[in-house]
Amino acid sequence: SIVGATGYSGIELIRILQNHPYVELSMLTSESYAGMKVKKALPFFNIEKELVPFNAKKTAENSDVVFLCLPHTKSMEAAATILKAGSKLVDLSADFRLKDKKTYEKWYGAKHTKPELLKKSVYGLPEINREAVKGSNFIANPGCYPTSIILGAFPAVKSKLVDAGAIIVNSISGVSGAGRKAKTELMLSEAGENIKAYKIVTHQHTAEIEMGIIMGSGNSKVRVSFTPHLAPVNRGILTTINFALKKKISTAKVLELYKNTYCGEEFVRVLPEGQFPETKYVAGSNYCDIGVNVDTRANRLVVVSAIDNLVKGASGQAVQNMNLMCGFEENTGISNIGMLV
């Protein structure tokens, strides 16, 4: 079942799961479109099923796996009910990603009402936490910015090539990252013909970014200065990570490190020297593309990554986690390549 099926993450889940060979969609919930058939609310799907209001107990009783696509702070009570009923749960909100209640409350400005569940959730970035995902029934699906940054950053930090305490990150996101509800700043007349930075060094994903890099690298001294930007495109995240190098090294050697790190990882593509990611090459796909370059003059390493914020940054990764939880092949239903145009 998909809770919040008419938001962007929910829509992407329907798109992916309706072609998944081992999935039958059970309940699709929506508060805005309750009582309406899917094909009327979302005409690009020819699905007769009716959208229903969310009832956590009823949803769990009718589902082997539940995807929660609710706004941050709204998943806490729902997650407790679903887990108690015995369903597997993939939560796409941020409510269970951070393991410390005080850290969550600091960055999200809200009280965490289910702190006892924080230790039970597994952070669902398979490339750094695959075995834990396989053994879990409760996945905290990573955020979009953190996915692009952690995958781009942790190999360099783990190798001790760079200063882990002074990582500078700039990310550019399409407007779908802000959700489907109407907001003034996302109107065409506001967002079009405009690029802006926002929540400079205060973005709520910062704590998750640091946590993920620490998980992947084992280096507890990680500190990130993160500046997100909004661009007038529908989907995609392009991230640039800037490190101070501890020693001189060639781009070829860094590429070798990244290729070795991601050897066997289907959904991370390390690009050849001189080639760098673009959002259009990953749009609609579950891939993360990574390119690297060493600035020999300044003795710095620049890593660029690109993902589709709605797929590898949300729903595609959620299905990747479900596949691992349920014992399916990890790439089932999500192995398609990007859409160039």
Query: Judging by DSSP bridges, how do beta strands 196-197 and 167-173 pair with one another?
Result: unpaired
Residue among 69, 144, 263, 288 flagged as catalytic: 144
* Beta-bridge partners for 29: 3, 52
Instruction: Give the predicted TM-score (pTM) of the model.
Output: 0.96
Residue 244, Cβ density class (10 Å: 0-12 exposed, 13-18 middle, ≥19 buried): middle
For the stretch 80-118, pLDDT in tens is 999 999 999 999 999 999 999 999 999 999 999 999 999
CB 145 within 8 A of CB 205: yes
For the stretch 128-139, pLDDT in tens is 999 999 999 999
For the stretch 252-297, pLDDT in tens is 999 999 999 999 999 999 999 999 999 999 999 999 999 999 999 9
**pLDDT of 341 strictly over 90:** no
CB 33 within 8 A of CB 11: no
- Respond yes or no: is residue 144 known to be catalytic: yes
Domain 144-311 has CATH 3.30.360.10: yes
pLDDT at site 264: 96
Q: What is the DSSP letter of 37?
A: B
CATH number of 2-120, picked from 3.40.50.720, 1.10.510.10, 3.10.130.10, 3.20.20.10: 3.40.50.720
Please state, for a pLDDT cut of 90, what percent of the chain lies above it: 92
**pLDDT of 182 strictly over 90:** no
Report which of 286, 308, 304, 314 is spatially closest to residue 235, judged by C-alpha positions. Answer: 308
CB 203 within 8 A of CB 228: yes
pLDDT at site 88: 98
Report the Cα 327 to chain-centroid distance in Å.
Answer: 21
Distance CA 279, CA 288 (A): 10
CB 326 within 8 A of CB 24: no
Per domain, the residue ranges of the chain are 2-120, 144-311
| Mean pLDDT taken over the chain | 96
Report which of 117, 41, 126, 134 is spatially closest to residue 82, judged by C-alpha positions. Answer: 117
Q: How crowded is residue 145: how many other Cβ atoms within 10 Å of its Cβ?
A: 25
For the stretch 205-249, pLDDT in tens is 999 999 999 999 999 999 999 999 999 999 999 999 999 999 999
**Distances 240 to 75, 139, 194, 297 between C-alpha atoms, Å:** 31, 27, 19, 18
Same fold, 2-120 and 144-311: no
> Which residue, chain included where needed, has tokens 């995609």?
236
